[in-house]
Amino acid sequence: MRGINDKFRAVVFAMSTVLLSACGGGGNGNSSGGSGSGSSTSAGPAGGVTLQVVSFGDSLSDVGTYAPLASPVGGGRFTTNPGQVWSQDVAQYYGDTLSAAFTIGLTHKLTAQSGLGYAEGGATVATPANQYDYLSDVIGNIEMPVNQQVSSYLSAHGSFNANQLVLVWVGSNDVLRAGNLPAAAPIVQTAANTLAQLVGQIVQNGGAHVVVINLPNIGLAPKGLGSADGGANLTQLSQLFNTTLNSALQTDGLQSKVIEIDSYTWTNQVIANFQANGFTVSNTGQACDPTKTPDNTSLLCSPATYVSANADQTYMFADDLHPTTHMHSLFARFVEQQIARSGLGR
């Protein structure tokens, strides 16, 4: 994706002494504060069930892998910071706190932490990080694809258990990097089939409550709308990924063993009814001012770079791809409702 600009590099350099003296303070990326940064709902689940949350994925679920680098400019997560992402909201709903499993600081190396938030911005399903330029001038090509995230978890913890809720949401970067149809089709299909295999690995290793989320309609993100075809290719690839994933889960006998969440339909419906969902700006704008936000990425977005004081609540998208705090909160609530429908917590 895009590299960090000179302004951000200068800020990071200026703050290096502070970060080093703090020994990586703030590395778990789990600080709260700011409007809408709390749990998506005030009450816990029916039956009072509490669960430990484990999360695998990409920037949509990253709870702070790059926070040590991004915190000098008020960033840390791929949303309208300091707001939370959906996986943190879901974890709080089930009585848990989700923090990063790995963080990266000035050493440009992933450092293991105590958290179970394995999702990392830039991650694909299984493609090695060094094949892409994802913020590489600052963080290097080090983010773990989800197959490595799962392997890392199993190496550290051995297995999953019935007291855990395992969240899996990945594939957007595979679609974004696949190119155009028809050449992109086998790339996307391979990623979706591989994801189904990874879900099977999680289930086989004790995952009793596994949430698998399909891709949103990436073509409807500002990045899609701004492309030459108005997002048509990204929409078709999102659909292809989802149909392939659904078929693979069915073929592998996993559909009855996981909780599938349809983010594609949900996103379409929320965008179509954006005002009824509390937004004043639809998917045509972004909350983080491109002229103030370093590299125009939500990872480095903060209240100081919002286009308006409450943009984290009134806009749907933080940058051209990532949801705002309010959008994350709404999605977390939807996920919680779908989990409840599966019978968990009743």
Kindly report, residue by residue over 162-202, the tens digit of the pLDDT.
Answer: 999 999 999 999 999 999 999 999 999 999 999 999 999 99
Written out in words, the top-level CATH class of the domain with range 6-341 is alpha beta
94-112 burial code (b ≥16 CB/10 A, e <16): bebbbbbbbbbbbeeebee
Q: So where are the chain's domains? A: 6-341
Sign of CA dihedral 147, 161, 90, 95: negative
| pTM over the 0.85 mark | yes
Q: How far apart are CA 83 and CA 103, in angstroms?
A: 18
Question: Helix, strand, coil: what percent of the chain each, to 5?
Answer: 45, 10, 50
Q: What is the pLDDT of residue 45?
A: 81
Both tokens assigned to 174:
């595979």
Which secondary structure element, helix H or strand E, spans residue 112, and what is its range? strand 110-112
Which residues in the chain come in under a pLDDT of 50? Answer: 1-42
Q: Give the DSSP H or E segment for 111.
A: strand 110-112
Closest residue by Cα to residue 78 from 56, 60, 92, 104: 60
Look up residue 218 and give its amino acid. I
Q: Which residues are CB-contacts of 222 (< 8 A; sequence separation ≥ 6)? A: 283, 284, 285, 286, 317, 319, 320, 321
Classify the C-alpha dihedral 227-232-237-242 as positive or negative.
Answer: positive
Which residues 6+ apart lie within 8 Å of 264 measured at CB?
A: 214, 215, 216, 217, 238, 239, 242
Indicate the DSSP class of residue 201: H
Tokens (6 digits) for 169? 């949401």
User: In a 3-state reduction of DSSP, which class is residue 166?
Assistant: strand
pLDDT in tens, 26-57: 333 333 333 333 444 446 786 788 999 999 99
